[in-house]
Amino acid sequence: MVQINDNYLKLPGSYLFSMIGQKVSTYAEANPDKKLIRLGIGDVTLPLVPAITSALEKAVVEMGQERTFRGYAPDLGYAFLRTAIAKHDFQDRGCDISADEVFVSDGAKCDSGNIQEIFSVDNKIAVCDPVYPVYVDTNVMAGRTGTYDVTSETWSDVIYMPCTKENNFAPELPKKTPDMIYLCFPNNPTGSTIHKAMLQTWVDYANQVGAIIIYDAAYEAYISEKDVPHSIYECEGAKTCAIELRSFSKNAGFTGVRLGATIVPKELERGGVSLHALWARRHGTKYNGAPYIIQRAGEAVYSEAGKAQLKEQIAYYMKNAKVIRDGLASAGYTVSGGINAPYIWMKTPEGMSSWAFFDYLLEEANVVGTPGSGFGPSGEGYFRLTAFGSYENTVAAIGRIKKM
Amino acid sequence: MVQINDNYLKLPGSYLFSMIGQKVSTYAEANPDKKLIRLGIGDVTLPLVPAITSALEKAVVEMGQERTFRGYAPDLGYAFLRTAIAKHDFQDRGCDISADEVFVSDGAKCDSGNIQEIFSVDNKIAVCDPVYPVYVDTNVMAGRTGTYDVTSETWSDVIYMPCTKENNFAPELPKKTPDMIYLCFPNNPTGSTIHKAMLQTWVDYANQVGAIIIYDAAYEAYISEKDVPHSIYECEGAKTCAIELRSFSKNAGFTGVRLGATIVPKELERGGVSLHALWARRHGTKYNGAPYIIQRAGEAVYSEAGKAQLKEQIAYYMKNAKVIRDGLASAGYTVSGGINAPYIWMKTPEGMSSWAFFDYLLEEANVVGTPGSGFGPSGEGYFRLTAFGSYENTVAAIGRIKKM
């Protein structure tokens, strides 16, 4: 008789965004006359820029002609895209990353969920608290997190690194030594980030204790301040301790297009085993490459036209971020984020719980946000709003919140 | 200190097709004047049909306009595609599969590699021998296969079901009871298939012992004979024991487009746990949906124009299959397959090993095929040719082989 993977049964509740989706549908069905404004899920709303649609159109034509048709893509990505990523995202910033250290994929969510597979289930993971749920949930599924305590909403074998107002939403080095450290800067959900010197202390620490940093750089395009690293490979020694996840979702509006990349340096090894080789084997065995036309779209992100058009797109969202941040602050809320990230992190008023504030905002202002507690216990009492709405909706939402 | 997943170190050699790729490049570099004909990897060569490129073009336009832009797709697939798959691939054949039992993905390779995650690592798997390497290798990575014996080229904890000339390349029910049974019909690599009554015995067996059948139907569009099932759900009771993998790669030329689907019936459960719910959770946590434009291309596969155009495309490949099968037979080779599948399975001459024949064919005829032994020990002494080349190349390749 087949047995199921009972680690799945340990997962409490359903995935955060599914739960929000359900609450919102229920409210919308019961209140069909209300115009909801969604600033919850971090999903982009602006259409693909012309440089990208042109590249897609051209690739579609190629796929329809015998001479230019492409079947299976190379497992690890087409050279044209790997080269473009290596050059523009790394080499141009002084990071010594070569094209064959870039693994193209269908998105950073998949990669951030799959990367743990190449590590032993006996490793201890450390995560920021609050945190993007995928890091923790995929480790639960793998059996790496111990038992769940309902009261504290924590896993016995996970090392939590609280990110709160007190430490400016930047984690401190953990007291217990972890084996795998998940870091995401600019941060989802808090919108915070850290300066290069601080990231260097993490790199030094990981090299010292033999840990691996899984560095999620999905929001790097939103960095506006100087001295904030766009890649962990800006730090010295990162190539011997860090894997970096890159996404096209937020810097190019690809949430529905699906493209990402994971960087595994060739010199990254543990116990004499190359992690680059392990990830290549994983990719080659369980993945069959990102679609050709999508990889061509990814290439267009780095064209002169693409860069210029996407700079405007990001500026549009960051204008929204300013509206939210300034609007909430002027209404007396405590806010952070929104300067180097499309996320604004606010304190809920008068000790209201995150989910209570979610319901309150949904019902009173018809605005959908994300409860901070959905990202971990230290997120309780916080709430996330995203800058990915339209400008008009963002202004309207803040207007409604101010009136509450 | 982080530990790696040392199951990866147990994997012998590199992935079959990577190894072929390396051998072919080495030969091609050393012999730049030789015109190689590749009938090795099962990759399609005909361009996408007009119904599909039109759907792609239309979807690209939608993605470039604010009103019609789509961000994150629903985790499990767009309703328009799930509905089309459920109707055309199942309901129209009398199989009671509903749209919400269809999970859209970026391909059957990923799904066939990932599906084992929802099961315990203590389960025993049964596979045909020879077999598509992904089924076994992904279970090795998960730690489900015991130790590898170099001499017999088998894993201690895998139940092998030999498929040889003696049993007409159709597996017999295993003597040891497995928990997870991988079946693929029409078969890759042997090109064989089984009749409905025989598949029914597998369904009855799985229901009786509580096993799960993972049924790979990637090649169903190539079935030309009657009474050969296109889906396992044509058998009574399959919904309580079978998960089916569907691919668009071979029936619509999507190897570089990437689209697949996995069917998990809602009534499929073990130990009171719904496998549908587990797979939904896996999909929702580790996957972010197939690209919108690709899902629209998938929908076009089921349009009247798409169906007609793809029927011609498959007929083209099957004409090649006939050329290979008849040509090899007339040259005195023992061949099977090629009637309900795009694969021709041939006995190597005079007790030559599969890899020896690979080298011989590469060097003497400049034709690339796939060594049968790469698919498992019972594949030794066999060789796979595919019908996915151009008609001209296929005729030329067979001409060269006949001359050898």
Beta bridge partner(s), residue A41: none
**Among residues A250, A241, A248, which one has the least CA distance to residue A295?**
A248
Q: Using CA atoms, how far apart are residues B247 and A72, in angstroms rounded to an integer?
A: 13
3-state secondary structure of A302: coil
B109 neighbourhood in chain A, CB within 8 Å: 286-288
User: A65 to chain B nearest CA, in Å?
Assistant: 5
Is the CB of residue A178 less than 8 Å from the CB of residue A139?
no
Query: Has domain B54-303 been given CATH number 3.40.640.10?
Result: yes
Distance CA B329, CA A371 (A): 68
Residue of B nearest to A58 (CA): B57
CB-based contact, A306 to chain B, within 8 Å: no
- For residue B40, the model assigns a pLDDT of 87
pLDDT per residue of chain A (404 residues) written in tens, 0 to 9 = 999 999 999 998 766 777 898 899 999 999 999 999 999 888 999 999 999 999 999 999 999 999 999 999 998 999 999 999 999 999 999 999 999 999 999 999 999 999 999 999 999 999 999 999 999 999 999 999 999 999 999 999 999 999 999 999 999 999 999 999 999 999 999 999 999 999 999 999 999 999 999 999 999 999 999 999 999 999 999 999 999 999 999 999 999 999 999 999 999 999 999 999 999 999 999 999 999 999 999 999 999 999 999 999 999 999 999 999 999 999 999 999 999 999 999 999 988 999 999 999 999 999 999 999 999 999 999 999 999 999 999 999 999 999 98
Nearest residue, CB atoms, A48 vs list B64, B141, B282: B64
ipTM confidence: 0.96
Q: Is B280 on the interface with A (CB under 8 A)?
A: no
Residue B286 at interface with chain A, using a CB cutoff of 8 Å: yes
Model confidence pLDDT, tens digit, residues B26-53: 999 999 999 999 998 889 999 999 999 9
Range(s) for CATH 3.40.640.10 in chain B?
A: 54-303
Q: Which residues of chain B have a pLDDT value below 50?
A: none
A113 interfaces chain B, CB cutoff of 8 Å: yes
Tell me, what DSSP letter sits at residue A4?
Answer: B
The 10s digit of each residue's pLDDT in B224-276 is: 999 999 999 999 999 999 999 999 999 999 999 999 999 999 999 999 999 99
A73 touches chain B (CB under 8 A): yes
What does the pLDDT read at residue B225? 97
| Residue range(s) in chain A whose domain bears CATH number 3.90.1150.10 | 9-47+305-403
Q: CB count, 10 Å around CB of A96?
A: 12
Given CB atoms, is A281 within the 8 Å cutoff of chain B? yes
Partners of residue A57 in chain B, C-beta under 8 Å: 57, 60
Say if the Cβ atoms of B72 and A9 lie within 8 Å: no
d(Cα A335, Cα A23) in Å, to the nearest integer?
25
Length of chain A: 404
Query: A62-76: buried (b, 16+ CB within 10 Å) or exposed (e) per residue?
Result: bbbeeeebbbbbebb
Judged by CB atoms closer than 8 Å, whether chains meet at B5 and A118 is answered as yes
Q: Which of A53, A109, A120 lies nearest to residue B4, judging by beta carbons? A: A120
List, as ranges, residues 148-187 from B with C-beta within 8 Å of A.
179-180
**How high is the pLDDT of residue B14?**
64
Please give, rounded to a whole number of angstroms, the shortest distance from the CA of A329 to a CA of chain B.
Answer: 29
Shortest Cα–Cα distance, B153 to chain A (Å): 19
Q: Which residues of chain A does CATH 3.40.640.10 include?
A: 53-303
Residue B178 tokens read as 């497995």
Cα of A332 to nearest chain B Cα, Å: 33
Q: Identify whether the C-beta of residue B138 lies closer than 8 Å to the C-beta of residue B112.
A: yes
Please choose, from the candidates A191, A160, A151, A250, the residue with its C-alpha nearest in 3D space to the C-alpha of residue A382. A191
Query: Which of B5, B66, B117 has the CB atom closest to A5's CB atom?
Result: B117
Residue A326, φ and ψ in degrees, nearest 5: -65, -40
User: Residue B279: how many CA atoms within 13 Å on its side-chain side?
Assistant: 27
Residue of chain A whose Cα is closest to the Cα of B254? A71
Phi first, then psi: give them for residue B31, nearest 5 degrees.
-130, 70
Q: Is B270 on the interface with A (CB under 8 A)?
A: yes
Work out the minimum CA distance from A351 to partner chain B, whole angstroms: 31
Using a CB-CB cut-off of 8 Å, the residues of chain A touching B212 are: 2
The helix/strand/coil state of A74 is coil
Q: What is the pLDDT of residue B273?
A: 97
CA neighbor of B253 nearest in space, from B322, B306, B320, B187: B306
C-alpha span between B385 and B45 (Å, rounded):
15
> Quick check: A116 and A139 in contact, CB under 8 A?
yes
User: Alpha carbon A10 to chain centroid distance?
Assistant: 24
Q: How far apart are CA B289 and CA B260, in angstroms?
A: 11
CB B96 within 8 A of CB B237: no
B residues 20-49 closer than 8 Å to A (CB): 41, 43-48
CA triple B359-B365-B370, angle to 5 deg? 45
Out of A64, A288, A293, the one facing B47 most closely (by C-beta) is A64
Q: Is the peptide bond before B371 cis (omega within 30 degrees of 0)?
A: no
Angle at which helix A292-300 crosses helix A50-63, to 10 degrees, equals 150
Other Cβ atoms closer than 10 A to A271: 11
Which candidate in B4, B249, B250, B255 is best for mutational testing of the A interface (most A CBs within 10 A)? B4
Contact B210 A294 (CB under 8 A): no
Neighbours of B34 (CB within 10 A): 11
Dist. CA A335–CA A338, nearest whole Å: 9
Q: Do B293 and A56 touch (CB under 8 A)?
A: yes
Contact at 8 Å (CB) between A130 and A379?
Answer: yes
Instruction: Give the strand pairing for B343-347 and B382-386.
Output: antiparallel
**A9-47+305-403 — its CATH code?**
3.90.1150.10
3-state secondary structure chain B: CCCECCHHHHCCCCCHHHHHHHHHHHHHHHCCCCCCEECCCCCCCCCCCHHHHHHHHHHHHHHCCCCCCCCCCCCCCCHHHHHHHHHHHHHHHCCCCCHHHEEEECCHHHHHHHHHHHECCCCCEEEEECCCHHHHHHHHHHCCCCCEECCCCEECCEEEEECCHHHCCCCCCCCCCCCEEEEECCCCCCCCCCCHHHHHHHHHHHHHHCCEEEEECCCHHHCCCCCCCCCHHHCCCHHHCEEEEEECCCCCCCCCCCCEEEECCCCCEECCEEHHHHHHHHHHHHCCCCCHHHHHHHHHCCCHHHHHHHHHHHHHHHHHHHHHHHHHHHCCCCEEECCCCCEEEEECHHHCCHHHHHHHHHHHHCEECEEHHHHCHHHCCEEEEECCCCHHHHHHHHHHHHHC
Smallest CA–CA distance, residue B349 to chain A, in Å, is 31
pTM here is 0.96
* pLDDT, position A15: 67
Query: Quick one: tokens of B252?
Result: 């619509």
A106 touches chain B (CB under 8 A): yes
Query: What pLDDT does residue A21 have?
Result: 87
The CATH code for residues A53-303 is 3.40.640.10
Instruction: Using a CB–CB cutoff of 8 Å, tell me whether A118 touches chain B.
Output: yes
What are the tokens at A37?
A: 């404004």
A387 contacts A342 by C-beta, under 8 angstroms: yes
Query: Which residue type does B277 have?
Result: A
| Cβ separation B278–A113 shorter than 8 A | no
Among A2, A258, A276, A310, the strongest candidate for a mutation testing the B interface, having the largest count of B CBs within 10 A, is A2
Three-state DSSP at A315 gives: helix
**What is the maximum span of chain A, computed from C-alpha positions, in angstroms?**
66
Q: How many C-beta atoms surround the C-beta of residue A166 within 10 A?
A: 7
**Distance from A102 to chain B by nearest Cα, in Å?**
18
- The answer to whether B118 contacts A3, with C-beta atoms less than 8 Å apart, is no
Q: Which of A110, A275, A291 sits opposite B256 (nearest CB)?
A: A291
Q: How many C-beta atoms lie closer than 10 Å to residue B22's C-beta? A: 11
Q: Which two tokens stand for residue B403?
A: 């001359």
- Fold assignment, B7-47+305-403: Aspartate Aminotransferase, domain 1 (3.90.1150)
